Structure 1
Amino acid sequence: MDHVRDVSRLPKAHLHLHFTGSMRPSTMLELADKYGVHLPDALTSGEPPKLRATDERGWFRFQRLYDIARSCLRSPEDIQRLVREAAEEDVRDGSGWLEIQVDPTSYAPMLGGLIPALEIILDAVNSAARETGLGMRVLVAANRMKHPLEARTLARLAVRYADHGIVGFGLSNDERRGMARDFDRAFAIARTGGLLAAPHGGELSGPSSVRDCLDDLHAARIGHGVRAAEDPRLLRQLADRRVTCEVCPASNVALGVYEKPSDVPLRTLFEAGVPMALGADDPLLFGSRLAAQYEFARRHHGFTDGELAELARQSVRGSAAPLDVRTKLLAGIDDWLADESASRAALA
């Protein structure tokens, strides 16, 4: 008998989860009703919206839906609720460490300014960590669509609050716009301040986007990175440098980066030795959370339980979690693999 273990019981780290995108659909509906926010059918149908972001019109529609959802978050209490519920969902999925990604400038208008917004977010994260037992930190992300000077301001602010729960600095939004090198000074500020560099790359653009993140921003992790699979030399570089790719397979399909689940190059990256951390990206819009990404690897790419355990180890190793948390999670992964009582089914 081959046992199929429950991936929700597999300890893991979650390194690619966007702030508003982590919201429960039911919470969005409740807050929209509270504040009189009109939600389009794409956000109320009960099904993930049909998106295709490989062209600019599709990406604009995705961003528009995200902005509408964000407009439902208007008070510190809303932020606290979102973060607590995101933590609860992660715990349910077996996560022992979460690095949630946020651009605080997006929330500043509703929360009294940039610094108050960041402090409210950090307070919510620290409270949720205490309440749920989940190790939880913040990755501050600049927006590619905005001026690089704003990214430098964010980097300085992130460094200033590093002792309050910020562990990394990222760069999000449409990677087809702007050059990575335009943000090199912001990333230099963040790295000098001890923050991990984790820009997005290799999702909407090809391997050159990943290479730019490595060469210009000295990335320790790459948000997505799947398009690196198109360049064997780049794969070797990622593997040799042990740069973790935060791969979000369900969102890759939902956004049209790949036509079908079997097209996502999980096997190519894994067999090339590129470390991966599976992530949910924006569950609010894509309809699946962390454990579902591991089920995706199992169902569509034939990952065995041993290989899924290795993916979980890679997520832990790629995280900013302290040594004691890493040690505990890695031991838990070994226990999951050794414990056949973790099986939920048996296949003849």
Structure 2
Amino acid sequence: MRDRERDRDSDLDLEFDVAELRKVELHLHHEGAAPPEFIRRIAQEKRIDLGKVFDARGNYAYTDFVDFLRVYEAATEVLKTPEDYARLTTAVLEQSAENGVIYSETFLSPDFCGGSDVGAWKEYLHAIREAADAAERNMGIVLRGVITCIRHFGPDKARATAACAAETAGDWIVGFGIAGDEAKGKPKDFSYAFDMAREAGLHLTAHAGEWGGPQSVRDAINDLGVSRIGHGVRAIEDLALVDQLAESGVVLEVCPGSNVALRVYPDIARHPIQMLRERGVKVTVSTDDPPFFHTTMNREYEALRTTFSWDREVFAEIARNSLDAAFCDADTKAKLAKRLEETPA
């Protein structure tokens, strides 16, 4: 077996630049993708003190996952107007495009954009869409939105968020999900919100299997009816669940750099993405909250290439998985599929 593996590895072409590869990203938090300098600039303009958000080098400063949530929400507090979110959208898409991303789905929460008031949310969404449309024209990157309720804000707030999602579902708002502290509540507590989103025609995803164990993944699938799981990597602790994921086609939005930065796993070599893939699970690659975790899509790809000897074919598989699992419409997928097949200039 080892000899065959050595022979296979010797045939791999690993001499390529991951920056040249076109990428599809499905798991990106809009505010979490804000460059630190962008948030500092907005805070200075508004004379808001963010002394406990950054370290001495100007990076986001947090100690663990709960503290990360605190810093995330504190940084988000400076974004108070639709114009702020338009500027944020441009900044986020510039960085994604620089890393070869041609399609991205971003998690947006009306909790942060107008306090889950439908009218206010529509104003924020209009500004975000205008900036996204401009980025598509100027940078060639396509963006779609997945509205996300915040788990630790509770089920009642989730219903208000789902109402915003239902009111704006369509060709641009294409999905609904849940993020936040997995220790707060159970997936079934949010089933009403997910039912609202499903009835509005939205595709569904949920964070699970990051801090919760394998059962949290099962619960998200069984109680919320999702087709994708955000993270989901701790499913590896239950091989029966892994086989269920492979057989059902539920897709994992895997964020290796995030998992290492938050110490879900000690290093990339011990991350289970390769084991999950080898057992037939459809995995994708994303950055989650890239500046918080000092990562980019190029860095994620490079780490996977050097650690697991992923060649061009594997990355092409990852891109296809991602596009197949994307929540956008068939016409958009067809156009993006052609771009994935093209040789980069």
From 304, 309, 317, give the equivalent of 2:324.
Answer: 317
Amino acid at match of 2:76: R
Question: Alpha-carbon deviation of 1:332?
Answer: 4.0
In structure 1, the partner of 2:34 is: 23
Please give the secondary structure, in 1, of the residue aligned with 2:24.
strand
Amino acid at match of 1:138: G
From 200, 204, 208, give the equivalent of 1:197.
Answer: 204
Amino acid at match of 1:20: E
Question: Alpha-carbon deviation of 1:295?
Answer: 1.4
Question: Alpha-carbon deviation of 1:79?
Answer: 1.1
Amino acid at match of 1:239: A
Distance of 2:42 and 2:329 partners within structure 1:
35
Distance of 1:61 and 1:145 partners within structure 2:
13
Please give the secondary structure, in 1, of the residue aligned with 2:158.
helix
Distance of 1:281 and 1:205 partners within structure 2:
17
1:85 paired to 2:91: yes
Deviation per CA, 1:181-221, whole angstroms, max 9, x where unpaired? 01111111111211111110000111011100100001111
Distance of 1:93 and 1:323 partners within structure 2:
24
Unpaired runs of 5+ residues, structure 1, are 53-57, 343-348
Question: Alpha-carbon deviation of 1:71?
Answer: 2.0
From 159, 162, 165, give the equivalent of 1:155.
Answer: 162
1:8 paired to 2:19: yes
Q: C-alpha root-mean-square deviation of aligned residues, in Å?
A: 2.4
Residues 50 and 271 from structure 1, CA distance in 2 versus in 1: closer, same or farther, beyond 3 angstroms? farther
Residues 239 and 162 from structure 1, CA distance in 2 versus in 1: closer, same or farther, beyond 3 angstroms? same
In structure 1, the partner of 2:260 is: 253
Does structure 2 conserve the Cα–Cα contact (< 8 Å) formed by 1:22 and 1:282?
yes
1:120 paired to 2:127: yes
In structure 1, the partner of 2:8 is: none
In structure 2, the partner of 1:36 is: 47
Residues 75 and 157 from structure 1, CA distance in 2 versus in 1: closer, same or farther, beyond 3 angstroms? closer
1:98 paired to 2:104: yes
TM value normalised by structure 2: 0.88
Question: Alpha-carbon deviation of 1:135?
Answer: 1.4
Residues 329 and 291 from structure 1, CA distance in 2 versus in 1: closer, same or farther, beyond 3 angstroms? farther
Distance of 1:104 and 1:32 partners within structure 2:
21
Question: Alpha-carbon deviation of 1:331?
Answer: 4.0
Question: Alpha-carbon deviation of 1:284?
Answer: 2.3
Mapping for residues 1-348 of structure 1, pairs under 5 Å: 2-40=13-51, 43-46=54-57, 49=60, 51=62, 58-108=64-114, 113-163=120-170, 165-336=172-343
Amino acid at match of 1:253: V
What is the number of residues matched between the two proteins? 333
Q: Percent identity?
A: 35
Amino acid at match of 2:71: L
Distance of 1:6 and 1:125 partners within structure 2:
27
Does structure 2 conserve the Cα–Cα contact (< 8 Å) formed by 1:75 and 1:110?
no
Deviation per CA, 1:278-325, whole angstroms, max 9, x where unpaired? 111111211112222111211222222211221111111111233344
Distance of 1:38 and 1:284 partners within structure 2:
20
Higher relative contact order (CA 8 A, sep 6+): 1
Please give the secondary structure, in 1, of the residue aligned with 2:170.
helix
Distance of 1:197 and 1:110 partners within structure 2:
19
Please give the secondary structure, in 1, of the residue aligned with 2:217.
helix
Please give the secondary structure, in 2, of the residue aligned with 1:108.
coil
Question: Alpha-carbon deviation of 1:50?
Answer: 6.4
Please give the secondary structure, in 1, of the residue aligned with 2:107.
strand
Distance of 1:332 and 1:8 partners within structure 2:
15
TM value normalised by structure 1: 0.88
